């Protein structure tokens, strides 16, 4: 098995590797029930328990699953190489409702390599939910053919432990990859991605909201690589940190030589709820073409005192006003989820977190 990186390495300086190792060493327990994590919508349902496909709990419908193993050079992803994984083909026209995937973790470590594929002009929605405890590591290779469209929403709700996600996507001509994350559990996390816009006019929207409290540390480390002409990408990340927690957002736009007419945008914003909390931001640009539009904005601060005052002058209690404003802050990212039911479910998870933290 590949060795894990250390915090001395520049790309891993904010990662909570201690939480990862201690989660891996935790004992296995009972699996939580998947039932309470299904959204009340029809469609295929797939359950993985400790990285193993649980056929008896799944109703995959027209989703075609076949076994595979994957290889990657990435140190986190490489942990999953060799493990039994699944190729998940979402191309079937019959798949209309969102495909729900629930990862149940019972402790210790589990590694799952997976590949999501969409054929030409295929469209699919995926909702992923991570619950339980222990170290859950998922390597996902995403292959989008010409004109394909994948809308993915991922929520990290593990009560503790660590969730690491490594996405490696190749987005073809005029294809779109839209992924929004919500980190609202009690675990540590690292969302790590290398997304390549490989065909003309490809589109990537990749972002989310990370909510941290107590000693928790969550982070994203995402690189969007524009390798072809006319690509556009959006990265909208929001971090809310309470107590002694740390939320880190590192997002990079790479524009390869010759990837002219690229339009890349990043917006990273952090909100600190207590003075003991930490927010780290690193909006990075790496540009090798001259006819491009790339911009990023990054801010960190507390809630706007004037907005708070405004709400309180309208009779809203301080706690309520803070919750409202924080919710608005987080919704910058979550509102990018297209499906109403999914968006509302994610907003409800964020609300639960906010109620408990404010």
What residues make contact with other proteins under the rule CB under 8 A? 10, 257-258, 260, 270, 272-302
Q: How far is the CB of 238 from other proteins (least distance, A)?
A: 14
- Sequence-ordered alpha helix ranges (H) in 161-272: none
Sign of CA dihedral 162, 182, 50, 149: negative
Report the candidate in 66, 28, 65 with the shortest Cα–Cα distance to residue 49: 28
Count of CB atoms within 10 A of residue 305's CB? 8
Place of tokens 């690509």: 231
Q: Is the separation of the CB atoms in 141 and 70 below 8 Å? A: yes
Report the candidate in 79, 60, 59, 61 with the shortest Cα–Cα distance to residue 69: 79
Q: Is 39 helix (H, G, I), strand (E, B) or coil?
A: coil
88 or 294: CB nearest other proteins: 294
214 or 302: CB nearest other proteins: 302
211 or 337: CB nearest other proteins: 211
29 or 258: CB nearest other proteins: 258
CB environment 248-274: b (16+ within 10 A), e (fewer): bbbbbbbbbeebebbbbbbbbbbbbbe
275 or 314: CB nearest other proteins: 275
Beta 217-226 vs 246-255: how paired, if at all? parallel
In a 10 Å sphere around its CB, with 0-12 CB exposed, 13-18 middle and 19+ buried, how is residue 316 labelled? middle
- Could you tell me which residues come within 8 angstroms of residue 122 by beta carbon, excluding any fewer than 6 positions away? 90, 91, 92, 93, 145, 148, 149
Q: How far is the CB of 158 from other proteins (least distance, A)?
A: 26
Q: How far is the CB of 168 from other proteins (least distance, A)?
A: 22
**Both tokens assigned to 134:** 């222990």
Q: How far is the CB of 11 from other proteins (least distance, A)?
A: 10
125 or 280: CB nearest other proteins: 280
Q: How far is the CB of 243 from other proteins (least distance, A)?
A: 12
Place of tokens 């390798």: 227
161 or 264: CB nearest other proteins: 264
Q: How far is the CB of 298 from other proteins (least distance, A)?
A: 4
Q: How far is the CB of 310 from other proteins (least distance, A)?
A: 19
**Both tokens assigned to 213:** 């409290």
- For the chain, the C-alpha Rg in angstroms (whole number) is 20
Q: How far is the CB of 22 from other proteins (least distance, A)?
A: 24
49 or 240: CB nearest other proteins: 240
């Amino acid at each position: 098995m590949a060795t894990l990186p250390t915090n001395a390495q520049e790309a891993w300086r904010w990662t909570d590797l201690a939480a990862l190792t201690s989660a891996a060493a935790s004992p296995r327990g009972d699996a939580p029930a998947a039932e309470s994590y299904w959204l009340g919508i029809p469609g295929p349902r797939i359950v993985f328990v400790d990285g193993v496909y649980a056929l008896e709990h799944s109703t995959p419908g027209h989703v075609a699953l076949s076994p595979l193993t994957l290889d990657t050079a990435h140190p986190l992803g490489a942990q999953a190489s060799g493990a039994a994984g699944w190729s998940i083909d979402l191309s079937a026209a019959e798949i209309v409702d969102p495909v729900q995937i629930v990862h149940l973790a019972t402790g210790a470590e589990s590694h799952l390599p997976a590949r999501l594929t969409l054929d030409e002009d295929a469209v699919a929605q995926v909702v992923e939910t991570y619950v339980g405890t222990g170290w859950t590591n998922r390597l996902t290779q995403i292959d989008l053919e010409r004109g394909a469209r994948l809308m993915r929403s991922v929520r990290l709700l593990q009560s503790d432990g660590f969730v690491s996600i490594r996405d490696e996507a190749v987005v073809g001509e005029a294809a779109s990859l839209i992924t929004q994350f919500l980190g609202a559990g009690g675990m540590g996390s690292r969302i790590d991605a290398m997304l390549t816009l490989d065909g003309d006019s490809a589109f990537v929207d990749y972002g989310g909201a990370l909510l941290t409290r107590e000693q928790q540390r969550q982070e994203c480390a995402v690189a969007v690589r524009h390798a072809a002409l006319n690509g556009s990408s959006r990265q909208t990340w929001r971090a809310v940190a309470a107590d002694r927690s740390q939320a880190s957002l590192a997002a990079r736009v790479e524009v390869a030589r010759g990837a002219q007419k690229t339009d890349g945008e990043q917006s990273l914003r952090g909100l600190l709820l207590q003075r003991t909390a930490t927010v780290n931001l690193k909006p990075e640009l790496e540009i090798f073409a001259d006819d491009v539009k790339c911009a990023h904005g990054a801010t960190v601060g507390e809630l706007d005192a004037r907005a708070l005052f405004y709400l309180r002058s309208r009779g809203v209690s301080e706690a309520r006003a803070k919750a409202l404003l924080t919710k608005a802050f987080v919704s910058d990212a979550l509102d990018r989820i297209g499906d109403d039911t999914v968006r509302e479910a994610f907003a409800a998870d964020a609300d639960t977190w906010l109620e408990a933290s404010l």
